[in-house]
Amino acid sequence: MSFVLAPHEGAAEGLQRVIREQAEKVASECSEAQEHASAFAHKARVRCKRIRAALRLARPLMTEKTFVRENRWWRDLARLLSDLRDASARIEALESLRPFLVARIGPEATRRLEERFQSERRDVDAGASIAIFIERLEARDGDLVPDLADGGRDKLVKALGETYRMAREAMKIALESGESDLLHEWRKQSKYHALQVRLMRQQFPDALDRRVAGVRDLAELLGEVQDIEVVAEAARSWKQRPAGFFDVLKSRRTALVTGAAATGAALFAEKPKAWISGLTPPVLAGQDT
């Protein structure tokens, strides 16, 4: 099945199924990891992120100790691939910015920067990182899905409301400061919210079907902001960079943040309690469904 809770599934049943499917997929993809290191690192980190989003949604159905243990384990597993993913992300970020950069600094300067990033990517020991990742995953010996207590949609709505609140708060803080780390935190919280909206969209189709595209667009805009940051940071020691290079990146970043601010304002206009009350059918106030 896909990354979504089906209407007929119980909360615990559906979330365990989603976590199991993502864990099994990343395990099956390990067989070709060394041959396709960059692609594997990206997919594996995405699957770990999906599992962590499901764990956050399942938080009311497990003990806090279990949640902290599972969330940390999948976080630490994904971090094993961070260096490989970061090196690949520089190249992907540059590719996404290529038309913009070519028009402003020229094709030759853009090509030199690409060669620099490709060289840095070759210096990363992808084999060792992937080997440790696979070793840690196999050490779990199939014990990849936590026990969850039975619960109704009302408990999942509470968890979904919490990611809404965290993304909304992260947005306010990030836009007030404009700092890169805080914009990255906004992106991170928005991605968790986006993944949970995907998971819950069949439970509340009238409210969440329309929201899926909006939160995805927001995550993509903030992802492009992150691309700018990745390229800028990696190019700080680039002695051959053309004059005005950072000004070019700054102007693009400003436009992207403006777009993200407008999208976020529409998505997170309501306070959390009001948003939840608009989402939750009246039956959930008094009974499980």
Provide the token pair at 32: 């070709």
Which tens digits make up the pLDDT trace of 68-105?
Answer: 999 999 999 999 998 888 888 788 888 888 888 888 88
pLDDT at 188: 94
CATH fold label, 11-282: CHAD domain (1.40.20)
Whether residue 286 is predicted with pLDDT greater than 60 in this model: the reply is no
pLDDT value of position 24: 93
pLDDT at 143 over 50: yes
Q: How many CB atoms lie within 10 A of CB 80?
A: 23
Q: Return the DSSP state at 287.
A: S
Summarised one tens digit per residue, pLDDT across range 191-234 is: 999 999 999 999 898 889 889 999 999 998 998 898 888 888 88
- The pLDDT score that the predictor gives to residue 280 is 62
The model's confidence at residue 265, banded by pLDDT at 50, 70 and 90, is very high
Q: Find the farthest-apart pair of alpha carbons in the chain and give their distance in angstroms, rounded.
A: 66
* pTM value surpassing 0.75: yes
Statement: residue 281 has pLDDT above 60: no
pLDDT at 227: 85
Domain boundaries, the chain: 11-282
Q: Assess whether pLDDT exceeds 90 at residue 176.
A: yes
**Which class for 215: exposed (0-12), middle (13-18), buried (19 or more C-beta within 10 A)?**
buried
Q: Say what the alpha-carbon torsion angle 158, 53, 199, 31 is, to the nearest 10 degrees.
A: -160
What pLDDT, in 10s, does the model give residues 31-72? 988 888 888 999 999 999 999 999 999 999 999 999 999 999
First to last CA, the chain: 22
Q: State both tokens at 248.
A: 């070019």
Q: CA 244, CA 183: separation in Å to the nearest integer?
A: 24
DSSP 66-102: HHHHHHHHHHHHHHTTHHHHHHHHHHHHHHHHHHHHH
Q: What would the pLDDT profile of 103-119 be if each residue is shown by its tens digit?
A: 888 899 889 888 888 88
